[in-house]
Amino acid sequence: MSKYNFGEGQFVVYARNEQEARKIISQELQRFDNIKELMSNLLTQNGQALENFNTNTSEERLNIQFNDLESAIYDEDFIAKGEVRVRKTTKENGFYYELAYRYPEIDGHDANFRLAHEMGHLMLNVADPQRQVYDRESNSRHVSGLIRRDEQTGQFYGEQIQENAINLIAQLAIRGNISADDIVSGKVDLSEYNSYKKCDDLVKLLAVSMRNDFEEEITFEELIEQKIDSMITHKDGTQESANTFFYGILNDSSLVENEFDKYLGKGAWRDLNNAFEQLYDTNLSNDKFELIFKNAQGLIQEFANARYQDKYRETISRNGNIDLPGIGNKLKMLKQMIGEPIVESQINLEQNINKLSLKQKVARFLQKNNLFLNLSFVEKFVHKQMDILPEHTETRENVGISVTPTNKKREDFLNSLTNFGQYRDLPPIQRMSNPQKIEEMKRKMEQKQQTNDECR
């Protein structure tokens, strides 16, 4: 395979000969236009998010590399399926993107999902550095989608949850005749294998837990029809995003973080992020994975339960109790997603528990569930609530979940992302000069490593 370069690097393609290279470019540009349109269809016309996406995917802003199965992404990585990078130009604050993906079918998957995922990064990366706004409440700054930067420590967080959020957005874009509800509820999975896919279900739960259709219930298919970043106008004229999760990642993720913390206590979102970081650790044992996953799932479920009831009450106080949909359907969807049996009487009960404060309810749930107490972040939360629940005497054991070791790849990924409008130069592309290493990488590639990281 040879590398062909068209238009000063605007298109780079790996192919057997020039004729094939031209054929692949024309075929893949059709795919690109098609996926771009499907992604755009999720967003409000003339809205900020669409404007952002259009800027980032414009010809002036984007170079594309079409890799075959064997070529290395950016001449560096033989096993990644794709990657987006940001590059600085000589102009002040000027930057452009490089997007690489493999065009052939891999394990029965054509490149549609792969490309949609990479384009998801362009949808979430801000086109205008001024949109990287600071939020006082979380003392952090919006960087890209769910990636935020702690203002005090300078540390990034949210990059793992973001990968799963992008998997969800990509699936919604390419869903074709499959309903968005089947995707969001997890009945149908259109994403191809990637190493972080195992956390997709948690992000689906987050999207479902942050729905705002309490005055009039809408399906997720209907949400997409009215666009995932749209606003809904209540009967009293006040406005709210149709879904806080989608709106937040497309505009300002402090909305997502603060909403989560509002119901589970300050720092809960960072704790959930911590759980994601641990779940991404490829050295994590299956047992620990199961434990942390279940706990994270339970935490999001509690968040959803508490939030639904609160939003329901809020809607009643705004409109009176006339013609309001209950929260039964929403609770049922959650339970189905988690695989819990649905007992009607229980749903009614959950719908009506209003005696305890939300935080007390969550704390009570956590106490009941021993598994939860093995997680340090949950322990912290329960401790915070001890004053109001003095009857709790159970002893707890901390399993001592280790801190994720520094992941060089992820660090590199973060370094390649926008940073307060100071777009960093990436190290010059290094060709692998060590033939032994190249052989080793190729062998790995041939073994079709199932741990392929699709994007960093």
Closest residue to Zn ion, based on beta-carbon distance? 455
CB closer to Zn ion, 302 vs 454: 454
CB closer to Zn ion, 373 vs 414: 414
Lay out the site mask for Zn ion across 306-345 (x = CB under 5 A, - = otherwise): ----------------------------------------
CB of 452 to Zn ion, least distance (A): 12
Lay out the site mask for Zn ion across 149-188 (x = CB under 5 A, - = otherwise): --------------x-------------------------
Lay out the site mask for Zn ion across 18-57 (x = CB under 5 A, - = otherwise): ----------------------------------------
CB closer to Zn ion, 204 vs 361: 204
CA distance to 69, 150, 383, 415, 449, per residue, from 409 (Å): 21, 20, 35, 10, 17
Using CB under 5 A as the binding criterion, the count of chain residues that bind Zn ion stands at 2
Q: How far is CA 117 from the centre of its chain?
A: 10
CB closer to Zn ion, 300 vs 455: 455
CB closer to Zn ion, 363 vs 455: 455
CB closer to Zn ion, 163 vs 257: 163
Lay out the site mask for Zn ion across 238-277 (x = CB under 5 A, - = otherwise): ----------------------------------------
Answer yes or no whether residue 455 interacts with Zn ion by CB under 5 A.
yes
CB of 83 to Zn ion, least distance (A): 8
CB of 121 to Zn ion, least distance (A): 6
In the chain, what is the straight-line distance between the N-terminal and C-terminal CA atoms, in Å? 25
CB of 169 to Zn ion, least distance (A): 11
Answer yes or no whether residue 99 interacts with Zn ion by CB under 5 A.
no
CB of 312 to Zn ion, least distance (A): 36
CB of 342 to Zn ion, least distance (A): 34
CB closer to Zn ion, 191 vs 209: 191
Give which of 96, 104, 99 is closest to 116, Cα–Cα: 99
Footprint of Zn ion (CB under 5 A): 163, 455
